[in-house]
Structure 1
Amino acid sequence: MRVSFFKNIVFIPILGLICCGSTTEQKNDGFATSLILNDTLHTTVLNNQKRDTLLVGRSIFEKSSDHIFTGANQWPAYMKLLKGKKVGIVANQTSVVNDTLESKNSLRVVDFHLVDFIYEFDNTISKVFAPEHGFRGTADAGEAIKDAVDLKTGIPIISLYGKNKKPSKEQLKDIDIMVFDIQDVGARFYTYISTLHFVMEACAENNIELVVLDRPNPNGHFIDGPILEPQHASFVGMHPVPVVHGMTIGEYAQMINGQGWLKNKVKCDLRVIAMKNYTHQTPYSLAIKPSPNLPNDVAINLYPSLCFFEGTPISAGRGTNKQFQLFGSPTLPQEIYTYGFTPQANQGAKNPKFKAQNCFGLDLSTTKKLNEINLNWLIDAYRVSQNKKDFFNSFFLKLSGTSLLQEQIQQGLTQKQIKATWQQGLQKYNTMRKNYLLYK
């Protein structure tokens, strides 16, 4: 075992952390583990222990019923699957194994990146695959990501954004099993579920087992939006689901498989490591931002509503410190839109819309948590637009997944009238969705 990473750390048992589901990992060795710092064992190293030996300690979560345990935290359920195999990992900055550690009289959260974690258990990691925004999660939206090598481990990092969105047969030839662990935000146009689709397809075509480590959906408490029409499918929307789909990444993977959405209806050998203590109504705050322009919980909650502005001449806040928490443009009437901002280059937005221009709009950073998509901001901005003919661009069609939404706004329909046309599709989708849910 490589010892540098886990020096000063001991492993302790927690009973019964693996959730059950029809296609999830259900068998348990009698424990899952947490990472606890033990001040009396600072000199302990694990190279003198068998790899699967647990040193006895104390977990502050041993009797917890409300702490969410992600799939990544339940490593005995997947480490045994990786033993002796050549592993591929689809990961980014959100792929962490974490826990609250007790040191003397204080508590602190410690994160271990999944790649480091698996590597330290003497597993052979052949490659890491990175989605949009890159392995470290700092690249702009839409920015092409180059292949690289991880400086710490020497493991090749293959980009799955740009021309190469699907792992090739050549890239998979030295992989026996693939692990997918990325935090999603529950919106159809957030591209991590498209990356999931292509990874599943490639694994199915090359007879590689895929293990998805499940994570909470911060927008998992509702479903809303128009259903994507197949003729408008793209990388920002591949499947006939609403804008807010209400599923975790593991549930979504099961739906992709079960609905036959992969090319030629191939089936992926899929295993989902489910969470414990999670429901779709459980509040969940992301400790690590899932992408550069979703910096906090407010932005994540507003994202399904404000992302429509990406297909218009309105800024959604890229290039500010309130990304997806405001909107505006230089041409919106200042007497109505009183909040001023000036986009500048920053991390994740090297050349933001209206860079260095004074914009007028609304600051939504104190908005109460939404349980539905808000279309009124978009409708009102269109209504006061000076150039309605050019308000919607071609990207709006990809975001909405239907030509009807643009037409409805242009015709002057209200939010209530537009949403009424979504209901039949949402009801049908929800009936199908329930077949794949792992959590209430």
Structure 2
Amino acid sequence: MKYSIFKTIMPFRSAKITLFFLCTFISCKNNGQSQDYSSAQKAEKQTKEVVVGANRMYLYIKDLRAKNIAVVTNQTGIVKTEKDNYVHLVDTLLKKKINISKVFAPEHGFRGEADAGEVVKDGKDSKTGLPIISLYGKNKKPTPEQLKGVDLVLFDLQDVGVRFYTYISTLHYVMEACAEQHIPIIVLDRPNPNAHYIDGPVLKPQLKSFIGMHPVPVVYGMTIGEYAQMINGEKWLHEGITADLKVISLANYTHQTSYSLPVKPSPNLPNDVSINLYPSLCFFEGANVSMGRGTSQQFQIYGSPYFAKSTFSFTPHPNAGDKNPKFNGKLCYGEDLSKTPRLNQLNLSWLKKAFEQSKGVKTPFFTSSFNRIAGTDALKKQIIEGKTEAEIRQTWQKELEKFKEVRKKYLLY
């Protein structure tokens, strides 16, 4: 199986597909006052290609006219043109004379260049001149002052379907702020590259944090639009308030659809392999093990200076994804997982193996953040006790089945 973060899903093969993008992207009369909706819908039905919410402009452009719009997005907020290339949503809307007053940026920033966990400052976009307000700096929730004068919030972020990936936490706070200020929010849906399975322990309330805000498993099998509906429907916002929410759904998509992202969702997820391995390898964020930060194979390898010498080794160094990676400059021995077949469940064998290799080392294997990442204190105990992967998995099945019943209510695909 070939993995490439930059490949498109499939090339255009007919004039009908081109017609679709002409309709949804650039075909407007009188500066976009009217669009050929029926042609766009017909073209969607005739092509098998996944069409993201952002590209289905005929479904939401009318909601943006003559309003002050705030956009929550980053480098993943792109639309596909009739020439088979990509243009940022913000640039596209500005060209269509939509009044964007500001952009809210999540972790990693508007252009997606900040490290994981790095504080992102407010600023101004050099290309558009728009003010960029960070939701990963002084505040993670838009303030009433920041939303003053905003008529509608447009949300477009590419999620990867994992609880500790912070874009769903940003979604929560944006929805909450919109609900409190009585501002409608439109979520432009995008595929979840890990939507083909559901797995992992469900978050315990006492371990709630920005890397886990809701009682969901590690891998929850929903798109970000479906997740937004669940936040509203389960009344997870403050005091049970609900947002005035509209989701622009995907066309030609199911949870089993294999989808290769056209751009990196964050600096340390460079390709399809890393995105698929991320849910399993991110447990090492809470252990004294490197998962490849500071290399070109982030979340495709793991290792430690404390492991026994082996045929595979790597040395982390500062790079664009991590300015100060774990074990910076130290030789690490470990395992290369880049050829691993696509996972359909969490793999705990690497975590168990790494723990066994670290026995006898003075430095503790687990760090203080492990339980927050796992969403439970049970997994750490089970690894220490030497439970088998099957035994561990059995302990979260009951809550997992309960979650699946909740999830069903909000599925769009």
Matched, 1:190 2:183: no
Matched, 1:80 2:53: no
Quote the offset at 1:286 in angstroms. 0.4
Matched, 1:52 2:33: yes
Quote the offset at 1:163 in angstroms. 2.8
Q: What does the per-residue CA deviation read over 1:275-311, in whole Å, with 9 as the maximum and x for residues that have no partner?
A: 1100000110001010000000000000000000010
Q: Distance in 2 between matches of 1:16 and 1:210?
A: 29
Change (3 A) 1:384 1:438: same
Quote the offset at 1:33 in angstroms. 2.4
Quote the offset at 1:131 in angstroms. 0.2
- 1:269 maps to 244
Aligned pairs for 1:218-229 (under 5 A) are: 218-229=193-204
8 Å CA contact retained: 2:23, 2:36: no
Find 2:392's aligned residue among 418, 427, 433: 418
Change (3 A) 1:372 1:100: farther
Quote the offset at 1:384 in angstroms. 1.8
- 1:138 maps to 113
Matched, 1:156 2:107: no
Q: Distance in 2 between matches of 1:13 and 1:349?
A: 44
Q: Distance in 1 between matches of 2:252 and 2:375?
A: 34
SS in 1 for 2:222: coil
Aligned pairs for 1:296-311 (under 5 A) are: 296-311=271-286
TM-score (norm 2): 0.91
SS in 2 for 1:172: coil
- 1:42 maps to none
Q: Distance in 2 between matches of 1:118 and 1:223?
A: 35
Quote the offset at 1:100 in angstroms. 5.1
Find 2:23's aligned residue among 8, 24, 33: 33
Counting matched residue pairs gives 396
Which of these two proteins has the greater Rg computed from alpha carbons? 1
Find 2:374's aligned residue among 386, 400, 404: 400
Matched, 1:90 2:72: yes
SS in 1 for 2:285: helix
Q: Distance in 2 between matches of 1:88 and 1:166?
A: 14
Find 2:320's aligned residue among 347, 366, 380: 347
Matched, 1:171 2:153: no
Change (3 A) 1:50 1:160: closer
Q: From the two aligned structures, give the one with the greater helix fraction.
A: 2
8 Å CA contact retained: 2:35, 2:58: no
Quote the offset at 1:345 in angstroms. 0.8
Q: What does the per-residue CA deviation read over 1:356-377, in whole Å, with 9 as the maximum and x for residues that have no partner?
A: 1111000000100000000000
8 Å CA contact retained: 1:13, 1:34: no
Q: What does the per-residue CA deviation read over 1:64-107, in whole Å, with 9 as the maximum and x for residues that have no partner?
A: 33100110000121110011110000000000011452xxxxxx
Q: 1:423 is matched by which residue type in structure 2?
A: Q
Q: 1:140 is matched by which residue type in structure 2?
A: D
Change (3 A) 1:195 1:55: closer
Q: 1:97 is matched by which residue type in structure 2?
A: V
Change (3 A) 1:225 1:77: same
Q: What does the per-residue CA deviation read over 1:50-77, in whole Å, with 9 as the maximum and x for residues that have no partner?
A: 4335699x99966633100110000121
Change (3 A) 1:295 1:119: same
Matched, 1:377 2:350: yes
Q: 1:357 is matched by which residue type in structure 2?
A: K
Q: 2:371 is matched by which residue type in structure 1?
A: L
Change (3 A) 1:81 1:13: farther
Change (3 A) 1:50 1:360: closer
Matched, 1:253 2:228: yes
Matched, 1:428 2:410: no
TM-score (norm 1): 0.86
Q: Distance in 2 between matches of 1:291 and 1:175?
A: 28
Quote the offset at 1:174 in angstroms. 1.5
Quote the offset at 1:13 in angstroms. 9.0
Matched, 1:199 2:168: no
- 1:181 maps to 156
Q: Distance in 2 between matches of 1:366 and 1:75?
A: 38
Identity %: 56
Q: What does the per-residue CA deviation read over 1:335-357, in whole Å, with 9 as the maximum and x for residues that have no partner?
A: 4xx31101111112001001111
SS in 1 for 2:145: helix
Task: Identify unmatched segments of 5+ residues in structure 1.
Answer: 1-11, 18-30, 38-45, 102-108
Change (3 A) 1:341 1:114: same
Q: Distance in 1 between matches of 2:36 and 2:148?
A: 37
8 Å CA contact retained: 2:124, 2:132: yes
8 Å CA contact retained: 2:17, 2:46: no
Change (3 A) 1:55 1:267: closer
- 2:3 maps to none
Q: 2:75 is matched by which residue type in structure 1?
A: Q
8 Å CA contact retained: 1:33, 1:74: no
SS in 2 for 1:391: coil
Q: 1:33 is matched by which residue type in structure 2?
A: C
Q: 1:311 is matched by which residue type in structure 2?
A: G
Quote the offset at 1:120 in angstroms. 1.4
8 Å CA contact retained: 1:13, 1:54: no
Q: From the two aligned structures, give the one with the greater strand fraction.
A: 1
8 Å CA contact retained: 1:382, 1:388: no
